[in-house]
Chains A and B, each alone.
Chain A
Amino acid sequence: MTDSNLDAHKDRPSALQAGLKAAWPIFLGYLPIGAAFGVLAQQSGFSPLDVGLMSLLVFAGSSQFIAVSMLASGAGASSVVATTFVVNLRHLLMSSSLAPHLGHTGKGWLSLLAHGVTDESFAVNHARFSQGDWSWQSALAVNQSSCAVWVGSTMGGAWVGRLIPQGALGIGYALIAMFLCLLVFQLRGRRHAVTAVLSGVLAVLLSLWIPGNAYVVIASVIAAAVGTLAVSRERRGTAEGG
């Protein structure tokens, strides 16, 4: 038995405290992004209440940016919802990665925890679970506390939105910067990079040809399908070649 084990038992922080401590970098990241979103939303005609409601119910920054921009230019509800679905579909993978670690969590708590699965909370929780000493309570604390900070910072941004001249501080660029960073997080291997390049080029071509946002789904699905085919060819090749 090592000393660290004994110490851990003596002053083990509560699961809640551990979660909050781990989530701290997420809070810091959410402040500028949330504020930028709130400001942009306010300048597009939405109230702090609208913003708070969306942030609480959806809790997905990139899709919220896109939705506000689409709604402000008159897009219909179904295209906003469809685009939201595609943009947020990646959470499916994150939850799938978390699922093995959450075997003995009550269904009710799982449902609450699910609400807070985001790129950022997933990165933190997945890392902690992989290290070995994380609990569903701490994961829940991470998820829900970051949701609270998100709601607060977006509403705060919406409140001060009218004070900020449009285009000041490069706020309009926050979404692009966020996407670039999220893309970087996804480039885990060569297949991801190739798929991304293919998808991007295809999307540009389609966007010039087809009006609306359908090009996003079409380009992504084609690129991902091509990438998957390439991967399975590779697998078969390795299996046969030995």
Chain B
Amino acid sequence: MREGLPREDKNVHPKLTKDGMVSLDFFSVVLGMAVVTYLPRWAPLAVLARRRLPSWLLDGLDLIPAAVLSALVLPELVTSGEPRHLVILEPKLLVAIPTFFFALKTRSLGGTVVVGMGLYWAADKLL
């Protein structure tokens, strides 16, 4: 019984549904993603190895990852719905706390993901 797999209900963009082959629209998106991902990886190795960046830029770049990750995760934890509104004390926020401390303690990416998933699954069942 394929319960819980309402593929037809999912709001998939019509142009992206496939019939065996990768659609052109999907391929263009992936290509775009690949280019913007590859360039920041490549540029410092190929170009900047000889040059020194100004220290203010280095400081700024150093802070960007922490800023981006936080901007991505915190709204996920405390807002929901369309249009977005604040939701405190949802399982996703409660589970985030022990998950965060687990990451702090073990510094293990795979472990944190497994623990987070497990806690969330348990919370979903219990709450």
Contact = CB atoms under 8 A, between A and B. Distances in A.
A66 B29 CA distance: 13
Contact of A92 (B22, B34, B41, B70): B41
Interface stretch (A4-12, A13-21, A57-65, A126-134): A57-65
A30 interface: yes
A148 interface: no
Contacts of A155: none
Which of B65, B70, B120: most chain A Cβ within 10 A? B70
B49 to A, nearest CB: 4
Interface string B65-83: 1111111111111110001
B109 A181 contact: yes
B127 interface: no
Given A67-B33, A183-B69, A232-B56, A93 B86 contact: no
Contacts of A80: 29, 32-33
A57 B84 contact: no
B66 A203 contact: no
Nearest to A82: B36
A242 interface: no
B34 to A, nearest CB: 4
Instruction: Identify whether the interface residues of B are mostly helix, strand, loop, or mixed.
Output: helix
Nearest to A96: B44
Which of B33, B96, B117: most chain A Cβ within 10 A? B33
B48 interface: yes
A166 B123 CA distance: 16
B112 A180 contact: yes
A88 B109 CA distance: 17
Contacts of A62: 72
A54 B30 contact: yes
Interface in A188-215: 191-193, 195-204, 207-208, 211, 215
Q: How large is the interface on B (under 10, 10 to 19, 20 to 34, 35 or more residues)?
A: 35 or more
Given A170-B116, A216-B71, A177 B99 contact: yes
A240 B108 CA distance: 41
Q: How large is the interface on A (under 10, 10 to 19, 20 to 34, 35 or more residues)?
A: 35 or more
Given A28-B110, A95-B41, A199 B119 contact: no
A168 interface: yes
Contacts of B33: 54, 57-58, 63, 67, 80-81, 84
Interface of A: 25, 28-33, 36, 43-47, 49-50, 53-54, 57-60, 62-63, 66-67, 71-74, 77, 80-81, 84-96, 98-100, 102-103, 107, 110-111, 113-115, 117, 119-120, 162, 165-174, 176-187, 191-193, 195-204, 207-208, 211, 215-216, 219-221, 223-225, 227-228, 231-232, 235
8 shortest A-B CB distances, which residue pairs?
A: A177-B116, A29-B110, A170-B121, A200-B74, A90-B65, A203-B71, A173-B120, A170-B120
Interface of B: 2-7, 10-13, 16-18, 20-22, 25-34, 36-38, 40-46, 48-49, 53, 55-56, 59-79, 83-86, 92, 95-96, 99-100, 103-104, 107-122, 124
